[in-house]
Amino acid sequence: MHECCTPIRAAVIGASGYSGEELVRLLLHHPHADLVAVTSRSSAGQTVAQVFPRFGSHPEARSLQFVEPDVHALASRADVVFLALPHGVAAEFAVPLHAAGVTVIDLSADFRLRDPAVYQEFYAHPHPAPALLSKAVYGLPELYRDQIRTASLIASPGCYPTSILIPTLPLLRAEIIRPAGIIADSLSGVSGAGRKAEADYLFCECNESVRAYGIPKHRHLSEIEQELSLAAGERVTLQFTPHLIPVNRGILTTLYLAPTRHFSTAAEAAVLGDEIAACYRAAYEHEPFVRRLEGKALPDTKNVVGTNVVEFAWRLDPRTGRLLVVSAEDNIVKGASGQAVQSMNIRFGFPETAGLE
């Protein structure tokens, strides 16, 4: 389909943040999509190249201007609209765009939760568009690829959730690990905080600094627990500790998991290890963006930054009976904009890796 057809028309609303900038980068180079509109209240009137000087040699970036967001204009000009907006605001755009028949890919948290009560618990205000929740598909392609193919509203997952769900879901479904007691300890680059002019994210406040934040009840918990619970077939409560570390890009997550099968000898660990390896192979052998590390290799954010890949490695610890899994991803690519483009590719019948290699 993708070689014969005219490209689809894509727009990005709220394109001046880090996720928006990455969407612009991916769409400017996408073989099957044309970036037809970018909006930003603060940048309206400027070209993409002026707002993002790194795209200054790209002809389209030099001509395409940021505009004020106008739902009617966008609805008539775009086949797909990406929302790179704060939660709460995204829904205001999603509702009319969806009604106008545009495919909406929302990078905010607004449509990730199935239950509006959970949204209210974690986001501290009523859900802005509960009627639309049933239309939304959680845009994790490795889990919901079939649903994404026909979705009209795709709720692209958060950065932390992706790094946690990919290594955990297959093990939960296969009942290799227990649903209780899961711990996710995550380290995120500063771009995860967005391009917000807040003193906490100044260079001198982040450089030569490491800190935990948002504990013990970070907002992303809600969507992670939702998907873990669906995989486990029972309610899962997660311990999740995010930390801020001085890198621009990347999330490293260390997962502490309890295998259902007891092991304390090397022989028992080997048997369980084979089971885990087989489970992961079955789940991810053909996934283009999931990389299972082998041998002594351990994940390193520098090996995934700039790519749509999430990589992970695991170790069984016979001393404690636990399974450790460490995963790494680029929080703005597989954790945000790359994954959203991956969903677009699936939704419009393009090769899933188009524009993401």
Residues belonging to the active site: 159
**Residues from 37 through 66 that contact a second copy (CB under 8 A):** 53-54, 56-57
CA 264, CA 269: separation in Å to the nearest integer? 7
Residue 306 beta carbon to a second copy: minimum distance, rounded to whole angstroms = 7
Residue 96 beta carbon to a second copy: minimum distance, rounded to whole angstroms = 30
**CB 281: neighbour CB atoms within 10 A?**
12
**And the tokens for 355?**
């524009």
**Residues from 75 through 114 that contact a second copy (CB under 8 A):** none
Segment (H or E) for 35: strand 33-39
- Would you say how long the chain is, in residues? 357
Residue 122 beta carbon to a second copy: minimum distance, rounded to whole angstroms = 12
- Give 72 or 196: the residue with its C-beta nearer to a second copy: 196
- Give 38 or 328: the residue with its C-beta nearer to a second copy: 328
For residue 354, give the 3-state DSSP assignment.
Answer: coil
**Residues from 269 through 308 that contact a second copy (CB under 8 A):** 288-289, 291, 293, 297-307
* Residue 29 interacts with a second copy (CB under 8 A): yes or no: yes
Segment (H or E) for 279: helix 266-284
Residue 220 beta carbon to a second copy: minimum distance, rounded to whole angstroms = 14
For residue 242, give the 3-state DSSP assignment.
Answer: strand
Rounded CA Rg of the chain: 20
**And the tokens for 318?**
């016979």
Residue 207 beta carbon to a second copy: minimum distance, rounded to whole angstroms = 5
**Residues from 198 through 227 that contact a second copy (CB under 8 A):** 198-199, 201-213, 215-217
User: Are the CB atoms for 325 and 313 separated by under 8 Å?
Assistant: yes
For residue 175, give the 3-state DSSP assignment.
Answer: coil
CA 140, CA 131: separation in Å to the nearest integer? 22
Report the DSSP pairing between strands 8-13 and 322-329: unpaired
Residue 163 beta carbon to a second copy: minimum distance, rounded to whole angstroms = 12
Q: Residues binding a second copy: what is the number (CB under 8 A)?
A: 75
Give Cβ neighbours of residue 228 (< 8 Å, ≥ 6 apart): 165, 168, 169, 172, 179, 182, 236, 238
For residue 340, give the 3-state DSSP assignment.
Answer: helix
For residue 71, give the 3-state DSSP assignment.
Answer: helix
Report the DSSP pairing between strands 66-67 and 33-39: parallel
Amino acid at 281: R
**Residues from 311 through 330 that contact a second copy (CB under 8 A):** 311, 315-317, 319-320, 322, 324, 326, 328
- Give 116 or 181: the residue with its C-beta nearer to a second copy: 181
Fill in the per-residue mask, 174 to 203: x = in contact with a second copy (CB under 8 A), - = not in contact. -------x-x-x-x-xxx---xxxxx-xxx
Of 267, 280, 53, nearest in space to 173 by CA: 280
Residue 224 beta carbon to a second copy: minimum distance, rounded to whole angstroms = 13
